[in-house]
Structure 1
């Protein structure tokens, strides 16, 4: 991993271009893909057995999420403490927030346009009074209108320890930024503490390397439960909505994100190949959090500084929820169409405006977007909230792509901001992505002379 301070990183893998490649079956991406394939077959043939595999997926997700707060804290603290220009933190944050708002707004508009053009809910003629709303009620209880002051106060933890015990990414990020600024202000006297956090960062990523060995098992357990619990048959009544959403997500990645990547100088397809393990892991677990640690490491391997990655990626998990944004406007129109609820242009724009606020924070955990959608519909009384019952059976399948687009969008955002900050140039980035070095290396013992070097991706 390269911490850029003026020199550009060497493309990963070029120094080892002549190294013997390992068999494909030792690749993490192939192992995860195999686990997903076996899970799908098991879910279709033996649903009861597949459902019993749920603890495997839940256990893996917990192993990852238990160290996310520490990773973010150590990465941000050491990154900021090592900065010579403290103004860079504000500059990076401002550019990131600007990017987040522009792209997530485009995602909301895309969902609104597709919903009006394709009309996935037309012809359902559902009577909301006949729907079973018991399950929706539990989500409605979690959804509540949140004002801007409420959102800001939520970012501030009751105590420093509380931020870590709750696992709230924004709260941990706030504590890390303040701590990093404090260490930088104190100066050389805090160098031993900064060195300690640097060493802790190495140790935590070593834990990530170990846990990632279990990724195929975790992917198998999560996907087996999904197919076994809901079954392929549950997709049939709403296949038009599912395919519409999937196609919209693909369009967003290849066209909108693709144009963004092209504008700053790299290819979106090369980037997708670079993070293929994270893509498969996110699809299997229906959550973007399990991919966060390795995504951060891979972005650093491309030349992005620790501080930039530590600021942009965690913030993006709250403010840059592209997949959730598309889903919310598209799903709202679907429910209106399915229940024969006519929406004027003004009402649709109201949905859009409310979704701009409620979509923030709809990431990471499974079902967060569903709760945010309930919160949006409660503000628009014209659309019956009971219509959410139509989406319950397929939400797990929708959440796969929601989480995936959220994760992809945050990775692209980080690279774009890094290019704007000139931490890496587009030519070096293209070379690094073309080398295709994206796999996390197996943990290995380091000699005393190598303890200050971070492990490089394996061939």
Structure 2
């Protein structure tokens, strides 16, 4: 037996090495280090990498609309009973709005307390913000914002189509076609995600090349604040909600640990959507509740994204010394309450929504987003995990209120 031990040990080391080199996060880390080095030692070449980061985000952006549309339509059409759709939908949306608003408020509060954007800017080259701060938010129109926001339009179309599909005679055949198309979209997204290291390299090389290594100081502070705030939200807010129903947040996290690791590796909560639905049904949530709440939650209940967006807006305001009045802070929260609902749990979507929010606010230079692109991948992991946990908790709570929750079976988590 001892003669086989070295071989076993060697095989184990090879397995660990293989896991590391095939892990997407590993290559993103390498890409970011390479981007920092290029931007620092060759700023001109680093700034030319801007198009690389932007192209990656643009590619990801192509998937957001189809994913939102397909998950919402399939979720609603799978319910069958429209009265139940309406009742569960109202409960879910009410819960989503309350919890998401709490997440936004916590993000703003923590950002103001710890002020990650308040640093020595003598070594940073920042765009003049006067052209933005002189524009008033009083001219903001919700109607114009909706008409110019493609994602929100997709959401509305998906809800209408999902309801209409329940009255269609060839409903089952149509659902099968949509499910096949959904599989194709997710397969395409999986391959696109392999480009994440290239996108992170381009974003970081441009950021360091244009703004210098001093940029890493505020980014580090922001990342620490984001991670700490999301942990606080999960264990304090979501934990308290579950405790009211006599369920431990730790037991839930242990039950879905495989899905959490999957999200950690891909930075996308969408990657765990199929398996989390299966696990929630096995746990005791009814199929009808899971079928509506999970897909809807991926568009309407993004707690992690809400925290990230609110903290990032305040961070950029501090970085550019843009003073936001109390009314403007409320406006930021109001805009984010809409824009955050248009973000699917896909890597890069939170960044895209942040760009549209800053554009609508007309107070903070949109160019400031260049600071965030390099570390967006790492903050994306935190918000994607928080989004997944938030939607898992939401499904359990809605099932409880619908009395569709049978038995809490967490024993199968090891065998998944």
Structures share fold, TM-score greater than 0.5 = yes
TM-superposition CA deviations, 1:237-294 (whole Å, max 9, x none): 5211111111111111111111111112322222222222322232332322222222
Which residue does 1:332 correspond to in 2? 313
Contact 1:69 1:172 in 2 (8 A): yes
Cα distance between partner residues in 2 of 1:354 and 1:59: 25
Q: What SS is found at the alignment partner of 1:334?
A: helix
Which residue does 1:35 correspond to in 2? 23
**Change beyond 3 A, Cα 1:154–1:241:** closer
Which residue does 2:79 correspond to in 1? 79
Q: Decide which of 269, 290, 297 is 1:316's aligned counterpart.
A: 297
CA offset at residue 153 of structure 1? 11
Q: Decide which of 377, 382, 397 is 1:396's aligned counterpart.
A: 377
**Change beyond 3 A, Cα 1:424–1:61:** farther
**Change beyond 3 A, Cα 1:349–1:124:** farther
**Change beyond 3 A, Cα 1:225–1:319:** same
Q: What SS is found at the alignment partner of 2:79?
A: helix
Cα distance between partner residues in 2 of 1:45 and 1:122: 25
Contact 1:105 1:356 in 2 (8 A): yes
Which residue does 1:451 correspond to in 2? none
Q: Decide which of 168, 172, 176 is 2:162's aligned counterpart.
A: 176
Q: What SS is found at the alignment partner of 1:266?
A: coil
Contact 2:238 2:393 in 1 (8 A): yes
CA offset at residue 337 of structure 1? 1.5
**Change beyond 3 A, Cα 1:96–1:313:** same
Alignment partner of 1:114 is 2:110? yes
- Mark the runs of 5 or more structure 2 residues left unpaired by the alignment: 1-11, 36-51, 53-57, 130-139
Which residue does 2:119 correspond to in 1? 123
Which residue does 1:105 correspond to in 2? 101
**Change beyond 3 A, Cα 1:124–1:314:** farther
TM-superposition CA deviations, 1:301-326 (whole Å, max 9, x none): 22323322222122222221212211
TM-superposition CA deviations, 1:334-369 (whole Å, max 9, x none): 112122223333332222222222222123333332
Contact 1:287 1:366 in 2 (8 A): yes
Cα distance between partner residues in 1 of 2:253 and 2:346: 22
TM-score of the superposed pair, with normalisation by structure 1: 0.64
Q: What SS is found at the alignment partner of 1:394?
A: helix
Which residue does 1:422 correspond to in 2? 403
TM-superposition CA deviations, 1:124-156 (whole Å, max 9, x none): 4379974499xxxxxxxxxxx773587499899
Cα distance between partner residues in 2 of 1:121 and 1:293: 38
Q: What SS is found at the alignment partner of 1:109?
A: helix
Which residue does 1:147 correspond to in 2? 142
Q: Going by fraction, where is helix more abundant, 1 or 2?
A: 2
Cα distance between partner residues in 1 of 2:64 and 2:231: 27
**Change beyond 3 A, Cα 1:63–1:114:** closer
Equivalent residue pairs, number: 368
Contact 1:262 1:268 in 2 (8 A): yes
Contact 1:320 1:406 in 2 (8 A): yes
Cα distance between partner residues in 1 of 2:325 and 2:249: 37
Q: Where do residues 2-401 of structure 1 align in structure 2 (5 Å cutoff)? A: 35-36=23-24, 39=27, 43=31, 73-74=73-74, 76-80=76-80, 83=81, 86-125=82-121, 130-131=126-127, 147-148=142-143, 151=146, 171-180=157-166, 182=167, 221=194, 225=198, 230=204, 235=216, 238-401=219-382
Q: What SS is found at the alignment partner of 1:100?
A: helix
**Change beyond 3 A, Cα 1:271–1:95:** same
**Change beyond 3 A, Cα 1:376–1:93:** same
Which residue does 1:433 correspond to in 2? 410
- Mark the runs of 5 or more structure 1 residues left unpaired by the alignment: 1-23, 53-57, 134-144, 158-162, 184-189, 438-457
**Change beyond 3 A, Cα 1:252–1:315:** same
Contact 2:64 2:344 in 1 (8 A): no
